[in-house]
Amino acid sequence: MAGEVIAMKKTGGSKTEYQAVMLHPVERRFVEYLRKLRYANLEVKVQDGLPVMAEKVTEKVKFTDN
């Protein structure tokens, strides 16, 4: 599925225009994974501009009022 278009990028200017974006197969799998999540905090590792790993943050503890 290399080169499959599943995203659109908004281009600049005063007029709203969109341009098709070709996604790498790894990016496609990442987007599909994100769509399956209902709610989550993720830490994403990126190498050479591509997501290689995502880790769900399972717990956050805040000890201050700020």
Q: What is the pLDDT of residues 1-52, one digit of tens each?
A: 455 656 676 777 777 777 777 889 999 899 999 999 988 889 999 999 999 9
- Beta strand extents in the chain (DSSP E only): 5-11, 17-22, 42-47, 50-56
- Within a domain: 34: yes
pLDDT of residue 2: 53
- Within a domain: 63: no
Report the distance separating Cα 56 and Cα 40, nearest Å. Answer: 7
Give me the domain span that covers residue 45. Answer: 5-56
- Within a domain: 51: yes
Task: Answer yes or no: pTM beyond 0.85.
Answer: no
- Within a domain: 30: yes
The H-or-E segment that residue 12 falls in is none
- Within a domain: 65: no
Number of domain units in the chain: 1
Classified as helix, coil or strand, 26 is: helix
Tokens 């943050």 correspond to what residue?
Answer: 57
**Per DSSP, what are the bridge partners of residue 19?**
9
